[in-house]
Amino acid sequence: MNPTLRSVPLTSDAGTAWSVRAIEGPVPDRNSALLGAPVDATVPGEVHTDLLGAGVIPDPFDGDNESKLAWIGRTSWSYRTVFDWEPDEHAVQELVAEGLDTAATITLNGTELGRTWNQHRSYRFAVTGLLVAERNELVIEFAAPVETANRLSEASGLWPHTNLHPYNAIRKMASNFGWDWGPDVATVGIWRPIRIESWTGVRVDSVRPLAGLDRDRGVLDTRVALAWSEGFGDDATVTVEVGGTTTQMTVSAGTAEVGVTSTIDAVDRWWPRGYGDQSLYDVAVSVAAGARTDSWQGRVGFRTITMNVAPDDDGGPFILSVNDRPVYVRGANWIPDDAFVTRLNRETYERSIRDAIDANMNLLRVWGGGIYESDDFYDVCDELGVLVWQDFLFACAAYSEEEPLHSEVEAEARQAVTRLSQHASLALWNGNNENIWGYVEWGWRAPLGGRTWGEGYYFDLLPGIVAELDPRTPYSAGSPFSYDRYIHPNDERNGTMHIWDVWNQVDYSTYRKYKPRFVSEFGFQGPPAWSTLTSVVHDEPLDPYGEQMLVHQKAFEGNLKLERGLGEHLPKWKDIEDWHWTTQLNQARAVAYGIEHFRSLFPLNTGAIVWQLNDNWPVVSWAAVDGHGVRKPLWHALKRVYADRLLTVQPREDGPVVAAHNDTDVAWSTEVTVARRSTATGGEVLASETFALEVPARSAVLNSLPASVATPGDPATEYVEVRGADGSTAYWYFVEDTALRLEADAYTVKVADSSRGGYDVTVTATALAKDLALFPDRLEASARVDSCLITLNAGESHTFHVTSCGNTPKEPLGVPVLRSVNDLLN
């Protein structure tokens, strides 16, 4: 039998040579040659990375280059290739472009094939009869993205949006135009694969293998969309193979879609991490019509996912359940992992997703100002058991529901749901980020003047598409949302909540004033690692308010908020070294404070999704892992407070309590000792009591802190340690650090080569040593440490292990490489 499809890739890795040149726009004199002399381009790629690779521009992330290179986004660009074509017997030839960013005109051998203006969908252009033997010329001209967005916005009317550019007028990655954590590097390019497909008879256009459960049996409902060449009249046999089961169905010529149901006995279920194994099954779909065949391969996991938002006595919950088991969500928001997304690959995705797993997370929310991620992202989440909350791509703006935007939204949504519906990790489709909240509270109604703003997308179009194409996956209209049109969308008692008065207006102690059912956004800023920051910020002297520092701080009054956010928690810095350590520490403290409070409310609270896991360039931001992949102190704090079992001390009306949340399938039973101790040398135990801690599986308990321990003699020199016999710990302080008396000389340090490679730094406390942190990247940019924010009682030791390619540092090791709260107060 003959394959139906012949695919000829036109990508750089397949040997196709591309070039790019500027065709119109404010190209600086020093780059004026771009208007006449093209440079080599990479496909898939982006114009910024092409220009950078050709040595035409400096690194857009360095210094103030972002503003110096703003002309790129106001310039139109032409990509061109010449390729050979060998004619064949097939009846149909098509140019398939999986991703064009964004407003493009496509021309083959002088004939215009079409125009696009949606980065988030693929396109298929008929080229039958246009291809010639041997030399063919393909030209894709991209209109300047910033000017295109402005033109479309002016033509259709101004719809409210955040940030500088009207990103809501064009279907392009919103954050590519800049965000409060990301650079304004509006780019163009052929950002996903492009190829010529030649075929005859019948072709598999798309496959939606929807895997579910019927008791212990797996049920796979495979929806196969077929395309037929004109005049082809043979019937076709569609075959689906999964889990050792083969199911066939015969369809007549011209059938647009067929559904094939397969049943697998005693299937192994797919579970998120922490609940079971991630069992995945290969799926093979083939179609045969006469002598023609085509095929598709994929992978599924058999599971059910439900969303419970039914009203209860406390308002309305938000509970995600997998295979009928509620999941307490310990998650993070995910932004595109690089401002230039074509530099991402399977390896980079897996590294970043492992950042989430190593911090004990079980869910990533793909935020609506980014992209529908590559298949690599979802494949890794399937394999590692990370649930995916997928936003549709609408964020912080009002959107027109008129043409031509409406048709583009529908087309991209249908493609996205079709492509992603196979993934076991896909837990939720979400209509938008903050747009319902924005309409209610951000002053949009007056400028809109009764015009559409996106409501029809979130409540009609998108849920209808999900119900049609992926009915096994829950849909939420937005985040935040209260699941009732008559309740404020950001009400703490109902559904999902975003908490942004903390950071923007009030102290992080405000977290405890809320009793949220579920928090899908909250966070606090801090700078990246010192090595990351100083690789791009070159102010002399280095200062929080330096010119280049503020280029790498995108939030409104961001560094002022870092300063104000210290409150009474930590002293104001004396120099830039202290600024860096203090603000990183305060970021970690603030977020951990919120999560410990939320978890102490279980089962009222059913999860939290911190903003944010990752950065897309070197910047001061809310991220736990910076733009160079360095795990900030916040990441280490998340690892602790997102642990399967959490011990924390929380205030209640009747006094402090020991709150224990056991998010495992095994009962937690241990003996807990609570001790009031002195901060001074020797760490005298002033009072101590012991009790038995018993926490059933997937449960939480509260135990009152004994009065003898909870009542200090001198609040400034005493603290409470809670220690389980299993090694779990928690601390409680009677005053903020600015009023706490800590010894200046509270620990000794020893450095030694490690048998594991790198070196070990062992710290031994002689008095309370609070929040010890080691920053080996100050000695060698590539060095990494395994732990951070370690508190030691007098007599205790901790060893930091450092992976490093450099030499083991010599003792003594102190500020600024080894930091603690002690050195900030002394």
Find, among 609, 571, 588, 496, the residue nearest to 738 by Cα: 571
Q: What is the largest CA-CA distance in the chain?
A: 92
Give strand pairing partners of 159. Answer: none
Instruction: Work out the angle at residue 388's Cα, subtended by the Cα atoms of residues 461 and 520, and round it to the nearest 5 degrees.
Output: 80
Topology of domain 201-300 in CATH is Immunoglobulin-like (2.60.40)
Rounded CA separation 702/727 (Å) = 19
Rounded CA separation 524/678 (Å) = 31
Instruction: Report whether 520 contacts 498 (CB < 8 A).
Output: yes
Rounded CA separation 417/409 (Å) = 12
Instruction: Report whether 448 contacts 160 (CB < 8 A).
Output: yes
For the domain spanning 2-197, the CATH number is 2.60.120.260
Rounded CA separation 788/487 (Å) = 42
Instruction: Report whether 278 contacts 384 (CB < 8 A).
Output: yes
How many helices and strands in the chain, by DSSP H and E? 18, 45
Rounded CA separation 526/624 (Å) = 9
E strand or H helix that includes residue 631:
none
- Which tokens belong to 355? 């950042």
Rounded CA separation 402/421 (Å) = 27
Q: What is the pLDDT of residues 799-826, one digit of tens each?
A: 999 999 989 998 889 999 999 999 999 9
pLDDT of residue 1: 41
Topology of domain 646-739 in CATH is Immunoglobulin-like (2.60.40)
What three-state secondary structure class fits 644? coil
Which of the residues in the chain have pLDDT under 50?
1
Please provide residue 52's backbone torsions phi and psi, each rounded to the nearest 5 degrees.
-65, -45
Instruction: Work out the angle at residue 231's Cα, subtended by the Cα atoms of residues 225 and 237, and round it to the nearest 5 degrees.
Output: 40
**What is the bridge-based pairing of β-strands 668-678 and 718-724?**
antiparallel
Please provide residue 58's backbone torsions phi and psi, each rounded to the nearest 5 degrees.
-80, 175
Reading phi first (left if > 0) and then psi (alpha if -120 to 50, else beta), residue 463 is in alpha
Rounded CA separation 59/48 (Å) = 9
Instruction: Work out the angle at residue 778's Cα, subtended by the Cα atoms of residues 776 and 779, and round it to the nearest 5 degrees.
Output: 70
Q: Helix-strand-coil percent breakdown of the chain, rounded to 5?
A: 25, 35, 40
Q: Does the N-terminal peptide bond of residue 272 adopt cis geometry, omega within 30 degrees of 0?
A: no
Q: What is the pLDDT of residues 524-578, one digit of tens each?
A: 999 999 999 999 999 999 999 999 999 999 999 999 999 999 999 999 999 999 9
- Which tokens belong to 750? 């020893």
Range 315-643: architecture per CATH: Alpha-Beta Barrel (3.20)
pLDDT of residue 3: 63
Domain spans in the chain, listed from the N-terminal domain onward: 2-197, 201-300, 315-643, 646-739, 747-825
Rounded CA separation 791/737 (Å) = 14
What Cα–Cα distance (Å) separates residue 721 from each residue in 512, 641, 673, 730?
A: 21, 16, 8, 6
Task: List, as one string, the DSSP characters of 389-408.
Answer: EEE-S-BSB----STTHHHH
For the domain spanning 747-825, the CATH number is 2.60.40
pTM above 0.95, yes or no: yes
Rounded CA separation 136/140 (Å) = 13
Burial class from Cβ neighbours inside 10 Å (0-12, 13-18, 19+) for residue 348 reads middle
What Cα–Cα distance (Å) separates residue 490 from each residue in 318, 436, 626?
A: 13, 9, 29
- Which tokens belong to 799? 């060893």
Same fold yes or no, 2-197 and 646-739 = no
Task: List, as one string, the DSSP characters of 743-792.
Answer: -SS-EEEEEEE-TTSSEEEEEEESS-EEEEEE-GGGT-TT-EES---EEE
